[in-house]
Amino acid sequence: MIVDISIVVFRPDFEELRQTFRAIAAVRAEFGRLRLLVSGDAAVHARTRDLLSDVGIDAVVTERFDNLGFSTGHNLLLEESFRSDADACLVLNPDARLEPGALTALIAAVTSDGGEALYGPALRRADTDQVDSLGIEWTRDARHFDRGMGDPFVISPGRVEDVEGLTGACLLVPRIAYDRIVNRSGWFFDDAFLAYREDAELGVRAQAVGVPSRLVHVDGFSHVRAVRGYQRGRELPDLLGVRNRLLLKDRLGALRPGSRVISMVRDLAVAGAVHTVERRSKAGWDSARSIRRFVRSTSVVRARRASSGNPGRQMKVVYLGVESLDYPRNSRIRDYLEHELGAQVSVVRVDKNPGALRKAWVLLRDGHKAIGSGADVVVLAEFQNKYALVAKYLAWRARARLVTDWFVGLHETRVGDWKLHGPRSIRALILDLIDRTAARIADLVITDTDARAQDLSVRYRIPASSILTLPVGAPSWAVPSADVVAVRSEGPLKVLYYGGYLPLHGVDYILDALRITEGIDNVEVTLLGAGELRRGIEERVARERLSAVSFVEPVPETALADLIADADVVLGVFGRSRKAQTVIANKVWQGLASGRTVVTRSSPALEEIAAIVGDLLVTVDPGDPGALAAYLDDAVRHRPRRRDDTAAALEAYVSQRFMTFGDRVNRMVRK
Amino acid sequence: MIADRQIDSVAWAVQPGTNSNSRAARLVAGLTDGGAIRADARYYFHGRTEGSGATVNAGRVLPRIEAGTRSSAILSPVFDPTTARSVSWVDFYDDWSIAPDINPLHRRLAARTYHRVSRLGEDVLVTVNSPYMAARVKARNAVVVPNGVDEGIAHIQPEGDSRLRLVMLGNFFDGRTDWRLILDIARAVSFDEIVIGRPGASKSMQAVIHSLRADYGSRLVVSDWIDDVQLAQLSGSGTIALIPHTVSDYTLSQDLMKVYQLIGLGIRVVCPRLLWPAHLPIDHAFLVDFGASYSSIADWAASPPISERERQDFIRANSWSARGLMIQRLLEGIQA
């Protein structure tokens, strides 16, 4: 597990900072990168750089002249960290220390716990035998404190326990927890907070979206704690304390821990104090009051809590015929159903042994069990058109609605792409009948592009209102690399193809184009992946002495993300089948989301994302390899631009389509 | 776009004959160029001005679009989109229900409209300018389409000198402008020049100018109007701008168009932290909040300015035409 360390420095005590850097340097082998955000004037920047140099520790330093605050600062660093290769990031205060071996022990405990929560170590008060924090606990009047503060430091090594929150002074954030919190609640630390209490808010919000906070009993972490936010008497902390209390109230609503009555009494006492004995904090009160609509209305967890109070029962979904839980499309749709619609999703896996009849029988048997406690919706998974009748029967038995994910058709693949059967053969007719049945018997058909939805509607005479487009989108690993540069001007043009050498991909077209590319000496083409047709492609490359081409075996997603990041151009699909005309391939989404130029065949399907990605998407005529060759020649001379804003724009587009899907499913179930 | 799906009527707040630079005007111009809005569309506005030609005064109290339009766009919450059956696209920018410069009747109508948007079907595209507005309107499928910048400024070259200069552009008025912030920054840093454009008639602003005049004398330049070309003449390596907005629900509902304009002209921006447009990078921003140290603004101004390449990339990525195209694609997706 690669773990980065994230530190935000503002008005530091340089002697304390020196000691923290020394402590970090002593455990250099235990983490990936140190990421530092230094706020202040040029002198602060220079002195911090000198300190790093004195201690001899390398760091990725972001220097700012303003103060972004704890939340925004760490959000920036966490985003950078997870955009690169980190699996987790340790949020650390500049006055927190760690001893050799402590981080390794924490990581080991986190790994064995599953790594899906937020984790914090037992924190010792520096240079004492007292507890600094064993997590956060809330009182009945909606204040929060560090658990065990000042108590003798006694822990049970290895123990992992759930707590209400964890101090931001030392917080281990695994990537999976980060993604869940951001995707489900909109952000990690709440930017509305400038400093203090953001960790307590995070704990409550994370819990509300299904990410618990866990304290790990491990020794070796300590905290000097220069500022105690809850001890009054300092103007800025007091003012922010008042402001943050109101922000917590407005952000969390009924989720704010504590007794509602006692909390309200304290709220009134605070209101009274800032208008009388503590007027210096009134600016904090006024600030929170003036943004209360914003704070309330943009709080996802508050809204979710409100909607869960509705009397409707939880929707039950049976997801039938799942081949792989990790398949991006399947995983995303299930995640949306579970976490956005609040549905209870039961997965019925498809049998991995060969034989369509066996698979149908297993689906029927396991599907029966799944609908035993009732179902509102049966979803037939992607690639399973063959079992549409099984799905329809189960939906009928459960009086549920049937949603078919018509993602890949049998006819278009076996007849159109692979040409395994003649277009007029009996088998082709049967495959077409299966695809048609899958589309027609569903209450709702989902497919991946508008062009495909229109094609299905016309071909199988399905009303357009019964088909919805649910784009594939890009997975979370496909994001621009941290070292995005607008243009790479040196070295050969790096061109990447990856995939299973499917006929849909048209790898022969790529080779045809490379043969006539004039600037081929300045092009480096990587063909990554494995598939039935690879051997033939390898033979052709050898025969035609295409020295620019190299072959790479399939790699895990993280390595693939690196290869995409290293490429100037990602190749899409160049097949000429009907299917090729209507799909947006995974690699097209992934390449574009990674901010790289993607060259693919022209297709009406691309129109829906063309405006979003602009000139990153280049289309060529699949009948003319010269078009790709001409593009590559041009790209050798004028290197393609890279962008870092496409992932968010594409994600916004996909999210909107998912919301439409969610509304439709909700309405179907209510009818 | 198929002809019978083109938008043939637009309801908005733009008076006929005015040359508006508002979001609504920019988006409508882009969509008309792209063919999503018919060139001969009828325009409905609310206000006192007489209608003329293809523009219709829909009244101030309860403005409505005439029955019989095939497809309409509503770009002002004073019109109620739920009473018109033909609505295809609704765009709301800034929370008019709490805007200090909107009359009480129209504030009330805006609040009613935001509440009623949830009644619109999924065949209506709802776009907004900020995350606040996405939450404010009661539509689950509201899409944030940020404000943009005029592509034309790509051709206006920044040609200011390297003096340390602070620029502020109006409108300034009570309830939106943080007078204290202007004075604090002007006093924390000794600028070679402070330029205030469009100061307006606010008494508070006059007091601020009076105070700045006492400190800066002839180094304070006040101009009734500053256009893009004049701004470019001020845009040099030491030129920074201040957006002196108070942080409030209303300003959070906005997506600061001035930020786009200033960055597009190569001028870095000092801005309250929470008001910075959510989707823009903060590389060329100095964000202020409680406890900010304004004296480090001088060091920041001396750091590398916005390069010409960054400026061009910014304009390309955030142009109004890119925003228009995004809406056009969304409309086509809904109509497909």
Q: How close, in Å, is residue B33 to chain A by CA atoms? A: 15
Q: Provide the mean pLDDT of chain B.
A: 87
Segments of chain A scoring below 50 in pLDDT: 228-230, 305-312
Q: Is B274 exposed, middle or buried (0-12, 13-18, 19+ CB in 10 A)?
A: buried
Helices (H), A467-515: 507-515
Partner-chain residue, chosen from B132, B295, B309, that has the shortest CB–CB distance to A486: B309
User: Sheet containing B87-92: which strands, arranged edge to edge?
Assistant: B55-57, B37-45, B7-12, B72-74, B87-92, B125-128, B143-144
What phi, psi does B40 have (nearest 5°)?
-100, 25
Tell how many helices (H) and how many strands (E) occur in chain A.
24, 26
B330 CB within 8 Å of a chain A CB? yes
Nearest residue of A to residue B136 by CA position? A297
Q: Provide the mean pLDDT of chain A.
A: 88
User: How would you classify the pairing of strands A60-64 and A34-39?
Assistant: parallel
- With CB atoms and an 8 Å threshold, state whether B248 touches A291: yes
User: How would you classify the pairing of strands B239-242 and B165-169?
Assistant: parallel
Can you read off the two tokens belonging to residue A149? Answer: 């503060």
Q: Tell me, what's the pLDDT at A156?
A: 87
- How far apart CA A384 and CA A362 sit, in angstroms, is 13
- How far apart CA B317 and CA B151 sit, in angstroms, is 10
User: Sheet containing A467-469: which strands, arranged edge to edge?
Assistant: A344-349, A316-322, A377-380, A401-405, A444-447, A467-469
- How far apart CA A294 and CA B209 sit, in angstroms, is 32
Measured between beta carbons, which residues in chain A are less than 8 angstroms from residue B273?
66, 68-69, 72, 191, 194
- Give the torsion sign (CA, A446, A449, A455, A458): positive
Measured between beta carbons, which residues in chain A are less than 8 angstroms from residue B325?
611
Partner-chain residue, chosen from B122, B249, B303, that has the shortest CB–CB distance to A291: B249
98-127 of B, contacting A, C-beta below 8 A: 98, 122
Q: Tell me, what's the pLDDT at A298?
A: 87
Cα A507 to the chain's mean position, in Å?
30
- How far apart CA A134 and CA A165 sit, in angstroms, is 9
Rounded alpha-carbon distances, angstroms, from residue A477 to A20, A132, A647: 32, 36, 10
Q: How close, in Å, is residue A237 to chain B by CA atoms? A: 10
Mutate to test the interface with A, among B289, B318, B325, B326 (most CBs of A within 10 A): B289
Partner-chain residue, chosen from A67, A293, A643, that has the shortest CB–CB distance to B289: A67
Q: Tell me, what's the pLDDT at A234?
A: 78
Cβ atoms of A632 and A493 closer than 8 Å: yes
Mutate to test the interface with B, among A8, A45, A294, A641 (most CBs of B within 10 A): A294
User: pLDDT 10s per residue in chain B (336 long)?
Assistant: 445 568 888 888 876 666 567 899 999 998 998 888 988 888 888 765 555 556 666 666 667 666 666 788 999 998 888 877 688 899 999 999 998 888 888 899 899 999 888 777 777 889 999 999 998 887 767 889 999 999 999 999 999 999 999 999 988 988 889 999 999 999 999 999 999 999 988 999 999 999 999 999 999 999 998 999 999 999 999 999 999 999 999 999 999 999 999 999 999 999 999 999 988 999 999 999 998 889 999 999 999 999 999 999 999 999 998 899 889 888 887 665
pLDDT tens digits for range A258-312 = 888 888 999 999 999 988 888 888 999 999 999 999 999 888 776 554 444 443 4
- With CB atoms and an 8 Å threshold, state whether B332 touches A469: no
Residue type, A379: V
B312 CB within 8 Å of a chain A CB? no
Q: Which helix (H) or strand (E) holds B261?
A: helix B257-264
Q: How close, in Å, is residue A524 to chain B by CA atoms? A: 27
Could you identify the residue written with the tokens 């908005």? B12
- How far apart CA B38 and CA B31 sit, in angstroms, is 9
B201 CB within 8 Å of a chain A CB? no
Calculate ∠ Cα A308-A310-A311, nearest 5°. 120
Q: Tell me, what's the pLDDT at B58?
A: 65
- Looking at residue B118, the DSSP 8-state letter turns out to be G
Residue type, A100: P
Q: Tell me, what's the pLDDT at A227?
A: 52
Residue type, A150: G
0.90 surpassed by pTM: no
- How far apart CA B208 and CA B48 sit, in angstroms, is 34
Can you read off the two tokens belonging to residue A451? Answer: 């062009």
* Residue closest to B126 by CA, chosen among A303, A659, A607: A659
- How far apart CA A152 and CA A129 sit, in angstroms, is 6
Residue type, A182: V
Measured between beta carbons, which residues in chain A are less than 8 angstroms from residue B249?
290-294
At what angle are helices A69-83 and A175-185 packed, to 10 degrees? Answer: 120
Measured between beta carbons, which residues in chain B are less than 8 angstroms from residue A294?
132, 135, 249, 252-253
- Looking at residue A571, the DSSP 8-state letter turns out to be E
3-state secondary structure A107-145: HHHHHHHCCCCEEEECEEECCCCEEEECCEEECCCCCEE
Contacts (Cβ under 8 Å, ≥6 apart) of B128: B91, B92, B93, B134, B136, B137, B142, B143, B144, B145
Written as one string, the DSSP assignment of A187-224 is: -SS-TT-SSSSHHHHHHHHHHHTT--EEEE--SSEEE-
Q: Tell me, what's the pLDDT at A641?
A: 81
Q: Tell me, what's the pLDDT at A131?
A: 92
Q: Is A9 exposed, middle or buried (0-12, 13-18, 19+ CB in 10 A)?
A: buried
Cβ atoms of A170 and A161 closer than 8 Å: no
- Say if residue A93 is preceded by a cis peptide, omega within 30 of 0: no
Straight-line distance from the first to the last Cα atom of chain A, in angstroms, rounded to the nearest whole number: 48
Please count the CA atoms within 13 angstroms of the CA of A282 that sit on its side-chain side: 9
- With CB atoms and an 8 Å threshold, state whether B296 touches A291: no
Q: Tell me, what's the pLDDT at B48?
A: 54
- How far apart CA A68 and CA A74 sit, in angstroms, is 9
